[in-house]
């Protein structure tokens, strides 16, 4: 019997792109050093996953569904076990929360409930880039999910540096002009205005308005990723771009992975842009979705819908306790860095102090590469993410990312003390 051996070169070229290996690489290092304290995962705090009463939430959503659609309990329950509409089942509840909490005024039918924010990114990119004639601008360092989706779809990327105030608007304007002159204009720009992953930047209100004006001037669409907006300190939330968007230039993407739980795999996209005379971008995304995942699991949607309803249909109320814990962890992480490394300048190690999100960006005086991570893990029992994973090419980087979401108080303290020992002993700072 012969084995059909596949030549890697005979498979899609994106499979050889390093970005596809970035998550696997970190999982592999974590598996090899199970006792290490890991500042790598951007996953929610595991303590939040205990005691999620899926039955209660499902019941709560079923009552709502029976009421909203005037269905008997049997018919309502069946909806959870059947194939569902590609557009989703909880659109009304999510649209209500976006209006209440974020000032986003979107009709339920202009939302698509997706398999996490990742599917939303993929569908939007598929729809917006019919050919490779146009390009996607991204702030660098960039979330690998966007880079990976673009690579799978053969979409050209233009990296624009990120400042503490989000994407550098002058650099973006220059990139738009250069791309247009080169005959491959920028069709859309991906940004995460509230606490970007991995850089932790947050756009000021003024920068948000400037970005919208730039999008009008240069005629591109904005893909807004709002995964970490809920982590803002109480009373310090800023309006998302979509709430400021008077031209329907913004496609808004969110997820329940961090504010509820990631195993649900429920996210959403607001795509109210008209397409032709009678359709919207949401209609097109739902059509695409019907050929990718068909529909997002109705059971998972029911649990998430029920969780939202139990919190008065408010994303802010749903996220309040979690946001407080992430704020606490971020403060602890920055305070521990200060305690162990001083103000930074003397050691050549510096870091930012984000106002929210999961991540702190640390600058080293040497390349923060995979070889250095191996030393950190083997000799000091502490893991972090090399920032090179978030670049568009394989250029080295002297930065690394520390995530505080997955650890408890004690682990943060011990982890930073190990991290400081690693820096002192291995890079001589
Ligand atoms: C910035 C950003 N966008 C999107 C996602 C993907 O979210 P989901 O798990 O809902 O697919 C993540 C996940 O960590 C993220 O950090």
In CATH, what number does 13-42+317-426 get?
3.90.1150.10
> What is the pLDDT at residue 244?
98
**Whether the CB of 207 sits within 6 Å of ligand 1:** no
In short, whether 116's Cβ falls inside 6 Å of ligand 1 is yes
> Residue 394 above 80 pLDDT?
no
Q: What percent of the chain has pLDDT over 70?
A: 98
- Give distance in angstroms: CA of 420 to centre of ligand 1: 29
For residue 340, report the distance from its CA to the centre of ligand 1, in Å. 31
Q: How far is the CA of 281 from the centre of ligand 1 (A)?
A: 21
CA of 305 to the centre of ligand 1 (A): 19
Q: What is the pLDDT of residues 176-235, one digit of tens each?
A: 999 999 999 999 999 999 999 999 999 999 999 999 999 999 999 999 999 999 999 999
Task: Find out whether the beta carbon of 257 lies less than 6 Å from any atom of ligand 1.
Answer: yes
Q: Which atom of ligand 1 is nearest to the CA of 43?
A: 14
CB of 22 closer than 6 angstroms to any ligand 1 atom: no
Whether omega for the bond prior to residue 198 falls within 30 degrees of 0, making it cis, is: yes
Q: Domain ranges in the chain?
A: 13-42+317-426, 54-313
Ligand 1 atom nearest to CA at 262: 9
Choose between 19 and 82: higher pLDDT.
82
**pLDDT attached to residue 334:** 96
**In the 3-class helix/strand/coil scheme, how is the chain assigned residue by residue?**
CCCCCCCHHHCCHHHHCHHHHHHHHHHHHHHHCCCCEECCCCCCCHHHHCCCCHHHHHHHHHHHHHHHCCCCHHHHHHHCCCCCCCCCCCHHHHHHHHHHHHCCCCCHHHEEEECHHHHHHHHHHHHHCCCCCCEEEEEECCCHHHHHHHHHCCCEEEEEEEECCEECHHHHHHHHHHHHHCCCCEEEEEECCECCCCCCCECCHHHHHHHHHHHHHHCCEEEEECCCHHHCCCCCCCCCHHHHCCCCCEEEEEECCCCCCHHHCCEEEECCCEECCCEEHHHHHHHHHCCCCCCCCHHHHHHHHHHHHHCCCCHHHHHHHHHHHHHHHHHHHHHHHHHHHCCCHHHCCEECCCCCCCEEEEECCCCCCHHHHHHHHHHHCEECEEHHHHCCCCCCCCEEEEECCCCCHHHHHHHHHHHHHHHHHHCCC
pLDDT band at 344 (very low <50, low <70, confident <90, very high): low
* Cα distances (angstroms) measured from residue 238 to each of 62, 126, 162, 270: 33, 29, 19, 18
Cα 145 to averaged position of ligand 1 atoms, centre (Å): 7
pTM of the model: 0.96
Reply yes or no on domain 54-313 having CATH 3.40.640.10: yes
Q: How far is the CA of 117 from the centre of ligand 1 (A)?
A: 6
CA distances from 404 to 107, 121, 271 (A): 36, 25, 32
CA of 405 relative to ligand 1 center, distance in Å: 14
118 lines ligand 1 (CB under 6 A): yes
196 CA: nearest ligand 1 atom:
1
Q: Pick from 111, 113, 89, 88: which is nearest to 99 by CA?
A: 111
Mutate to test the pocket of ligand 1, among 23, 118, 224 (most ligand atoms within 8 A of CB): 118
Residue-level pLDDT at 412: 98
Banded model confidence at residue 373, pLDDT cuts 50, 70, 90: very high
- What local confidence, expressed as pLDDT, does residue 349 receive? 92
């Amino acid at each position: 019997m012969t084995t059909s051996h596949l030549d890697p070169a005979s498979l899609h070229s994106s499979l050889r792109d390093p970005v596809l290996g970035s998550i696997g690489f970190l999982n592999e290092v974590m598996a090899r050093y199970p006792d290490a304290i890991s500042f790598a995962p951007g996953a929610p705090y595991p303590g939040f996953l205990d005691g999620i009463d899926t039955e209660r939430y499902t019941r709560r959503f079923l009552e709502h569904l029976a009421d909203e659609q005037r269905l008997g309990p049997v018919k309502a329950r069946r909806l959870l076990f059947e194939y569902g509409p590609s557009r989703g089942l909880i659109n009304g509840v999510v649209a209500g929360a976006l209006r209440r909490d974020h000032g986003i005024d979107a009709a339920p039918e202009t939302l698509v409930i997706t398999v996490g924010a990742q599917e939303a990114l993929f569908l939007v990119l598929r729809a917006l880039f019919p050919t490779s004639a146009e390009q996607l601008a991204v702030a660098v360092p960039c979330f690998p999910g966007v880079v990976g989706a673009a690579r799978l779809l053969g979409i050209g990327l233009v990296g624009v540096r990120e400042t503490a105030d989000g994407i550098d608007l002058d650099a973006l304007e220059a990139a738009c002009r250069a791309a247009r002159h080169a005959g491959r204009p920028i069709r859309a720009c991906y940004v995460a205005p509230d606490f970007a992953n991995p850089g932790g930047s947050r756009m000021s209100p003024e920068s948000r308005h400037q970005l919208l004006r730039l999008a009008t001037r240069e005629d591109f669409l904005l893909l807004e990723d709002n995964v970490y907006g809920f982590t803002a300190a109480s009373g310090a939330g800023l309006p998302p771009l979509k709430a400021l968007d008077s031209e329907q230039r913004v496609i808004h993407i969110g997820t329940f992975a961090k504010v509820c739980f990631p195993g649900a795999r429920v996210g959403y996209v607001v795509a109210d842009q008209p397409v032709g005379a009678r359709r919207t971008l949401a209609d097109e995304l739902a059509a695409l979705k019907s050929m990718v995942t068909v529909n997002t699991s109705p059971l998972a949607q029911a649990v998430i819908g029920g969780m939202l309803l139990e919190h008065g249909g408010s994303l802010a109320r749903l996220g309040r306790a979690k946001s407080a814990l992430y704020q606490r962890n971020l403060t602890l992480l920055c305070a521990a860095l200060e305690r162990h490394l001083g103000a930074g300048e003397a050691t050549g190690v510096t870091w930012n102090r984000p106002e929210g999100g999961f991540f702190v960006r640390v600058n080293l005086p040497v390349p923060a590469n995979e070889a250095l991570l191996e030393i950190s893990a083997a000799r000091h029992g502490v893991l972090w993410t090399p920032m090179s994973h978030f670049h568009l090419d394989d250029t080295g980087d002297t930065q690394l990312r520390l995530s505080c979401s997955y650890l408890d108080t004690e682990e943060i303290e011990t982890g930073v003390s190990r991290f400081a020992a690693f820096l002192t002993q291995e890079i001589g700072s």
